[in-house]
A and B are shown apart, each in its own frame.
Chain A
Amino acid sequence: MTRLAILALLAATPAAAHYGMIIPSDPMISQEDGRSVDLTISFSHPFEEDGMILERPQAFSVTHEGEATDLLGDLSEATVMDEPGYTLTYGLDRPGTHVFAMTPVPYWEPAEDAFIQHFTKTYVSAYGDDEGWDAELGLRTEIVPLTKPFGLWAGNVFQGIVHLDGAPVPFAEVEVEFYNKGQQTSAPSDLMITQTVKADGNGVFTYAAPSAGWWGFAALNTAPETMDYEGEDKAVELGAVIWVRFEEWITR
């Protein structure tokens, strides 16, 4: 293969990370906004808006005041970033924080010679009531927010604890990526499409978002078990993903 061909191949491969995505129409629904929230659910490389196929998830739920409700049957098939995904309009009957969570089926990624399963969640506040913003759902792996995961200004920091099987993960690696909707920005280097921070010894990580929009945080760990792929044991990457929107600072 010529060097040119290799370069062309590299250029065609997204440099970004895989992300499960649950993006609500608004993370803070006021009574003037209506009585429901629209969700767009996908699997993608969000910075490059490079969609991937999202199979029907294993589970999709909303948790409110500690009670989880199964919404898997309410998902509508949709095309998101040119690939199969889902949408859902969910009626918000009560105030407070509603946490939407998806457990996808493990995705076989030949390029990484591993399965990928991203436990994904997004927090939505209804009607000015933020109670429940720090809810831990008990997912196999999840980022438990230490910063309220909505109502943040661009430039604020977001902090969370990485949990795996119910315990903090010291020095966990967390990938951070911007949902670059409409390709509103570009990165001067591939290294800046997906940024990486590490948690401290207590599993706590910190990131300051430089601009308004949706930011995805994915804490990645390798499962102790393997999965079979064509007769071979393969590693399973477990991702704890949370989506957080930062709001633009408006000067009057």
Chain B
Amino acid sequence: MIRTCLAAILTLALSGPALAHRVNVFASVEATDAGDVVVVEAKFSTGRIPTLGEVRVEDADGNLIGTHALQDDGTARFPLDPVAASGGMAITVTTDDDHEGYWILTPTDIAGGS
């Protein structure tokens, strides 16, 4: 399922060196009055917040769902598309200084947040 389909992304992510200056990515689903929102949070391993970067969102088959800019607080928010996210999503953050991290939002994660 999602683990198999996202293997390429994971392999790519895991094959990179674990630099002293990693970027950690975490994503969750937040229920709001306007509907479910995906919240992406990025943080360097130093604890500092990246303020410039791109968030790339792919579905379980590796199809691009969308891209978003990191905000000043190191986050990105976008509405959850339940159809596109039905098999889970791979969320990759690439900072402007070319550090990369990812989070796999599984169907269970998504169900738990709704």
* Chain B residues whose CB sits within 8 angstroms of the CB of A131 once the complex forms: 43, 47
Residue of A nearest to B26 (CB): A95
**Partner of B24 from A35, A93, A95 at Cβ < 8 Å:** A95
Which residues of chain B have C-beta atoms less than 8 A from A93's C-beta? 28
**Do residues B24 and A129 form an inter-chain contact, with CB atoms below 8 A?**
yes
Q: Contact mask A86-116 → B, CB, 8 Å, 1/0?
A: 0000000111000000000000000000000
CA distance A35 to B109 in the complex (A): 9
Do B24 and A127 touch across chains, with their CB atoms under 8 A apart? yes
Q: Are A128 and B109 in contact (CB under 8 A)?
A: no
Q: Which residue of A lies closest to B46 (CB)?
A: A131
Q: Is A31 an interface residue (CB 8 A)?
A: yes
- Contacting pair B104 A31 (CB below 8 A): yes
Contact indicator B22/A128 (Cβ below 8 Å): yes
A-B contact count (CB 8 A): 24
- Residues of chain A within 8 A (CB-CB) of B101 are 128
As a 0/1 sequence over residues 114 to 134 of chain A, the CB contacts with chain B under 8 angstroms (1 = contact) are 000000000000011111000
Whether A129 contacts B43 by the Cβ 8 Å rule is: yes
A129 surroundings in chain B (CB, below 8 A): 24, 26, 43, 45
A127 surroundings in chain B (CB, below 8 A)? 24, 26, 103
Mask, B1-44, CB within 8 Å of A = 1, is: 00000000000000000000010101010000000000001010
Chain A's nearest CB lies how many Å from the CB of B110?
A: 12
Chain A residues, Cβ within 8 Å of B103: 31, 127
Looking at B22, B24, B28, B108, the one whose CB has the most chain A CB atoms below 10 A away is B24
Of A95, A128, A130, most buried by chain B (CB within 10 Å of CB) is: A128
Q: Which residues of A contact B24 (CB under 8 A)?
A: 95, 127-129
Tell whether, in the assembled complex, residue B26 and residue A94 are in contact, meaning their CB atoms are under 8 Å apart: yes
Assembled-state Cα–Cα distance A60/B21 (Å): 35
Please report the C-alpha to C-alpha distance between residue A31 and residue B103 in the assembled complex, in whole angstroms. Answer: 8
Residues from chain A with a CB closer than 8 A to the CB of B22 are 128
* Contact residues in A for B26 (Cβ distance below 8 Å): 94-95, 127, 129
| CA–CA, A129 and B104, complex, Å | 15
Shortest Cβ gap from A30 to chain B (Å): 10
Alpha-carbon separation in the docked complex, A129 to B44 (Å): 9
Q: Please, how many angstroms separate the alpha-carbon atoms of A131 and B24 in the complex?
A: 11
Q: Which chain A residues in 122-148 approach chain B with CB under 8 Å? A: 127-131
How far is it, in angstroms, between the C-alpha of A141 and the C-alpha of B57 when the chains are bound? Answer: 47
Task: Report Cα–Cα, A87/B45, bound state, in Å.
Answer: 31
Bound complex: CA of A130 vs CA of B103, how far in Å? 16
Return chain A residues, CB-CB under 8 Å to B41.
Answer: 95
Sample 5 A-B pairs with CB under 8 A, ordered by A number.
A93-B28, A95-B41, A95-B43, A127-B26, A128-B45
In the complex, besides A93-B28, A127-B26, A129-B45, 9 extra interface pairs with C-beta distance below 8 angstroms are A31-B104, A35-B108, A35-B109, A94-B26, A95-B43, A127-B103, A129-B24, A129-B26, A131-B47
Question: 9 tightest CB-CB pairs across the interface, nearest first?
Answer: A128-B24, A95-B26, A129-B24, A131-B47, A127-B26, A31-B104, A95-B24, A31-B103, A129-B43
Mark A residues whose CB is within 8 Å of B.
31, 35, 93-95, 127-131
